[in-house]
Amino acid sequence: MIDALGARLDGWLSGAPALIGQHYPWLSAAHILALGALIGFVLVLDLRLLGLFRSLALAPLVQVLSRLAGFALIAAVLSGLVLFSVQPSHYLGNSAFLLKLGLMVLVMINIAVVHLSAPWQRVKAGRPASAVLRLLAASSLLLWVAVVLAGRWVAFV
C-alpha cells in the first residue's frame, strides 16, 4: 500500500526534481537550520520547565520560545515537504523516514496536549510548572531527540 502511494505521488510530483534541481542543497540546508533552531528553542524551554535555568523568568520565556519554536516548526515542515516531493516513493519505502513521521505525529500530539492544558495556561500566567507539565516537557525532549536521530538514519537505510 505504501509502495502504491509512493508510486502515485511520484507521478503527481514528477516535475518536482527538475523544479527544485539546483536548489536542493539550499532547501536541505534550510531544513537543517530550521530543525536546529527548533531543537534549540525546545531544548531551552523544556529544560526550563524541568527546573533548570531558574534565573530566567518562566512566563516570558514560555511566550517567546514557544512562538519561535512554532515558526521554526513551520519552516522545518515546509522545507521537509519540499525535500520529500523530490523522491516520495524513496522516502515512503524508507523505514527510518516512516519512523520519523510516526514520531512527528507523537510530537504534534504532545504539543497539542501541552498548549491546550490548564498547567500551560498557568505557566503563561506566571505560575510554576506542574508535575504534569514537567512530564510533558521530558516527553518532548525525548521525542525530539528521537525525531532527529530517525531523520539522520534516513540517509543510511
Q: 111-129, pLDDT tens digit by residue? A: 999 999 999 999 999 999 9
For the stretch 82-94, pLDDT in tens is: 888 888 888 999 9
Nearest-angstrom CA–CA distance, 19 and 106:
32
Cell representation of residue 100:
520519523
Residue with cell 522516502: 91
Nearest-angstrom CA–CA distance, 17 and 13:
8
17: pLDDT strictly greater than 80: no
The mean predicted confidence, pLDDT, of the chain is 88
Residue count of the chain, please give it.
157
Work out the average pLDDT over 59-78: 96
135: pLDDT strictly greater than 70: yes
Nearest-angstrom CA–CA distance, 70 and 62:
12
52: pLDDT strictly greater than 90: yes
Q: Which amino acid, 101?
A: L
Domain ranges of the chain: 2-9+21-156
Check residue 157 and give its pLDDT: 85
Nearby residues of 44 by Cβ (< 8 Å), 6 or more positions away: 53, 61, 65
Check residue 139 and give its pLDDT: 97
Work out the average pLDDT over 15-34: 77
4: pLDDT strictly greater than 70: no
